[in-house]
Amino acid sequence: MTYDSSSDGTSSYNCAVARQGPWWYGSYCGYGYDGANLNGRYLGRYGFSNTGMMWYEFGYDDSLKASSMMIRPAKAPDMTREEVEYTGSMSIQDCSELLSYGSYPSGIYTINPNESLSIDAYCDMDTDGGGWIVFQKRFNGSVDFHQNWDKYTDGFGSLGGEFFWGLTNLHLLTNIPDTSWELMILLKDTDDDTAIANYHYFNIGDATSNYRLAYERDFFCGNAGESLYWSRNDPFSTFDKDNDGRSSENCADTLGAWWYNGCSRFANLNGEYETGMRWFFWKRSWSHHLKATTMMVRPMK
């Protein structure tokens, strides 16, 4: 109401006149514990609040010297993992879709890469804006990564600890129609130094290709150095399935499961913990060892 239009519910006088400012008044003219009027007279810091700008519970005896009132669209309320999984309120194809529903912590969520597959995945919601699906994580050596072909195909370990998510899952995810993927690799060495390697147009082939690794080299960035080049377009090998193209030996026998071209030692994040985990072109030393690795993907923006 204003001084010339009273709708405050008080029949004896106009609150906008008595309080010297237009406002949304109740029957008490804004006095008492619910009192407020930010359109009253400007009295600066000092002045009796009944005739100036006031917000009762902030300070009844003094008027205000500055105020702002503003609005913005409300964010969707955050949802718990249980609500995501079980209420049917939404279905996400990958971790990046969580970003459109609010703010979510890193953790385990159920994703649906296609209509026939519903699977738990660890979502990194912190690194570079979040939305990453982690498919390999090592940090303490608690899980043995010297596993056979079936284990690497299906996945092993615990999503809450060290794990490999599975080549089958990775193939299905990176071959969703009309979606291109980026790969992020996070490294920490035994000196606690850290580095990253980022690749675009990352893809894992199907079982008939032995889960061949592919990416566009022109889009590499990061401070870890380009050590994955010698695995580009190569199939995956384990100690019981030799796909490395080297007839004299199985590289995975001694080096660990990886995408090999011959027995290149420039990169292998699945080797023996610390001593066999290598990313050569970070510090260009064969004695340089890693103690923590994360490999993860998300749709390219």
- H helices of the chain, where? 15-18, 81-86, 149-154, 167-174, 251-255, 280-283
Q: Are residues 96 and 134 in the same domain?
A: yes
Average pLDDT value for residue range 5-10:
66
Instruction: Return the pLDDT at 80.
Output: 52
Does the pLDDT value for residue 4 go beyond 90? Answer: no
User: pLDDT tens for residues 197-207?
Assistant: 999 999 999 99
Average pLDDT value for residue range 21-46:
68
Instruction: Return the pLDDT at 266.
Output: 94
Q: Are residues 229 and 290 in the same domain?
A: yes
CATH number of 132's domain: 3.90.215.10
Q: Are residues 107 and 6 in the same domain?
A: no
Domain-located, residue 76? no
User: pLDDT tens for residues 220-259?
Assistant: 999 999 999 999 999 999 999 999 888 788 999 999 999 9
Domain-located, residue 75? no
Domain that includes residue 46, residue range: 1-70
Query: In the listed set 38, 70, 102, which residue is the last one of a domain according to the structure?
Result: 70
| Number of domains the chain is built from | 2
Instruction: Return the pLDDT at 86.
Output: 38
Q: Are residues 3 and 114 in the same domain?
A: no
Tokens of 75: 């964010």
Q: Are residues 27 and 174 in the same domain?
A: no
What gap in Å lies between CA 238 and CA 252, rounded to an integer? 5
Query: Which residues of the chain form beta strands (DSSP E)?
Result: 36-37, 54-55, 107-114, 117-124, 132-138, 156-157, 163-164, 181-189, 194-204, 213-221, 236-237, 258-259, 267-268, 278-279, 290-299
Instruction: Return the pLDDT at 78.
Output: 52
Does the pLDDT value for residue 163 go beyond 70? Answer: yes
Instruction: Return the pLDDT at 8.
Output: 62
Q: Are residues 120 and 223 in the same domain?
A: yes
Q: Are residues 269 and 232 in the same domain?
A: yes
Q: Are residues 144 and 255 in the same domain?
A: yes
CATH number of 16's domain: 4.10.530
| Long-range CB contact pairs, 271-279, < 8 A, 24+ | 271/145, 272/145, 272/146, 273/138, 273/141, 273/145, 274/141, 274/190, 277/138, 278/227, 279/185, 279/187, 279/195, 279/197, 279/224, 279/225, 279/227
Instruction: Return the pLDDT at 84.
Output: 47
